[in-house]
Amino acid sequence: MAQLWGGRFTKETDKMVYAFNASIRFDQRLLEQDIRGSKAHATMLAKCGLLTEEEKEQILTGLEGILSDVQAGSLEITDAYEDVHSFVEAVLTERIGEAGKRLHTGRSRNDQVALDMKLYTRDRIDETDGLLKELLEVLLRLMQENLTTYMPGFTHLQKAQPLTLAHHLGAYFEMFMRDRSRMQDIRKRMNLCPLGSGALAGTTYPLDREMTASLLDFDGPTGNSMDSVSDRDYLIEYLSALSMIMMHLSRFSEELILWNSNEYQFVEMDDTFSTGSSIMPQKKNPDIAELVRGKTGRVYGALMSLLTTMKGLPLAYNKDMQEDKEMAFDAMDTATMCLKLFTGMLDTITFKTDRMAKSAMMGFTNATDAADYLVMKGVPFRDAHSIIGKLVLTCIDLGCAIDDLTLDQLKEICPVFEEDVFDAISLETCVGKRLTKGAPGPAVMQKQIELYSAYLAK
């Protein structure tokens, strides 16, 4: 058991206590960040005269050796060390001797772990942003291909008004675009370096915090040493943004599952993204979409867990904060996998455009337009609404769509109808006339797609 704090103890830690307290099993994934932070700290210590040039060089070379040996598999991180910070310091000292013991000057594990977690989260934020961009690129292609692919739009899961697939996908484009801007917001707000805050009250050494901040690509050092070591806001914000992404992916998954069902048959998932049943030979199940929907709860769980962990903590660092890692890492890995798989699934999906258009034609999605037609001919809207309501009832009896009635049948219900009604309530017209900004009319949708395309090209 390699501990950094044996001096004031006269007895060995109980084995179960050691295991309960240790975090190496999960914080070893911070190795790269820990070493990056230590290199910056050592460089700064040397510049401030707290290490000699020679000691600094020994430390830098030693740290780089540890990282490359672990990556090559010749150095193993074992549970003989309490946490990743203890591991690095112990191995460094073992390898370079005296200079290794000087590395921790003016530093505490509290500001060290605060830094490691920030560096790690910042990298993951950039990764998430990149994955969102890839998803948006697939959405953009599908929108470009489906500008006039008609489909029913739903409210209450009941057919409402016709729109296009491009427009429906555009709704998700907006959501994932907001998710990206959340990544950028969080990154900007969190990008201050906690290193140099010490345990909680700064340090008496003349550290150059600006220097370490800039070596580690931060915008500057944090403003309060107590806040620095006890702040996990950025992680909560990131988990919250990941939860939002998962919520969006889950809604989208739910729709794809419905669309892939035998009743809808709007899409067919590619064989490479579907699974079968062990008993029912006919089955091709949308398991990937279902798992993305299912794993959403897990990411929400990590957010709730950390919020709850933090809510009762007095300033500054408390060991409770070690609990910021396991579930957060799991949430990050889960969201990453879900984004990658969802993008692959969407990229290979087949849209059955004929079925979608047929479905848009049935279910009276043009009833609003039929009423609008009468209004244009001078009928007050309330009367038009009731006339079309009766018309719909007739169609339900006859088992047909409004467009299937003859002009005579239409005139029987309302003499105002004329030959031009058929064009006025066709799918093309119903969708094509919806030209307000953000509406599905292909002419405005095309402009919107151009904006999306320019956004992605930036």
What residue ranges bind ligand ARG (CB under 6 A)?
23, 27, 83, 109-110, 113, 317, 319, 321-322
Nearer to ligand ARG, 113 or 371 (CB): 113
Nearer to ligand ARG, 110 or 343 (CB): 110
**Nearest distance from residue 287's CB to ligand ARG, in Å?**
36
Active site (annotated) includes residue 168 = no
Nearer to ligand ARG, 114 or 246 (CB): 114
**Nearest distance from residue 325's CB to ligand ARG, in Å?**
6
**Nearest distance from residue 231's CB to ligand ARG, in Å?**
13
The amino acid at residue 61 is T
**Nearest distance from residue 302's CB to ligand ARG, in Å?**
16
Nearer to ligand ARG, 247 or 313 (CB): 313
DSSP designation for 319 = G
Active site (annotated) includes residue 167 = no
**Nearest distance from residue 321's CB to ligand ARG, in Å?**
5
DSSP designation for 433 = T
The pair of three-digit structure tokens given for residue 361, joined into one six-digit string: 């034609």
CB atoms within 10 A of CB 53: 9
Nearer to ligand ARG, 177 or 226 (CB): 226
Does residue 352 sit in helix, strand or coil?
A: coil
Contacting residues for 229 by C-beta, under 8 A, at least 6 apart: 108, 110, 111, 114, 194, 197, 198, 199, 200, 316, 317
The half-sphere exposure of 330 on its side-chain side, counting CA atoms within 13 A, is 17
Q: Please check whether residue 173 is in contact with residue 456, taking contact to mean a CB–CB distance below 8 angstroms.
A: no
C-alpha distances (whole Å) from 271 to each of 257, 275, 350, 369 are 14, 7, 11, 40
Contacting residues for 249 by C-beta, under 8 A, at least 6 apart: 292, 293, 296, 338, 339, 342
**Nearest distance from residue 311's CB to ligand ARG, in Å?**
17
Given the residues 261, 277, 386, 453, select the one marked as catalytic: 277
How would DSSP label each residue in 3-67? -S-GGG-SSPPPHHHHHHH--HHHHGGGHHHHHHHHHHHHHHHHHTTSS-HHHHHHHHHHHHHHH
DSSP designation for 316 = S
Nearer to ligand ARG, 6 or 130 (CB): 6
The backbone region for 363, taken as left when phi is positive above 0, alpha when psi lies in -120 to 50, beta otherwise, is: left
Residue carrying structure tokens 């000691």: 55
> Element (H or E) spanning 154, and its range?
strand 150-155
Nearer to ligand ARG, 39 or 109 (CB): 109
CB atoms within 10 A of CB 90: 17
**Nearest distance from residue 93's CB to ligand ARG, in Å?**
18
What is the Cα–Cα distance from 193 to 221, expressed in whole angstroms?
A: 4
**Nearest distance from residue 315's CB to ligand ARG, in Å?**
14
C-alpha distances (whole Å) from 92 to each of 4, 101, 113, 163, 228 are 13, 8, 18, 64, 26
**Nearest distance from residue 139's CB to ligand ARG, in Å?**
38
Nearer to ligand ARG, 69 or 326 (CB): 326
Residue among 358, 381, 345, 375 nearest 268 (CA): 345
What is the Cα–Cα distance from 47 to 61, expressed in whole angstroms?
A: 17
Nearer to ligand ARG, 266 or 317 (CB): 317
Q: Please check whether residue 88 is in contact with residue 66, taking contact to mean a CB–CB distance below 8 angstroms.
A: yes
| Catalytic positions, written as ranges | 156, 277
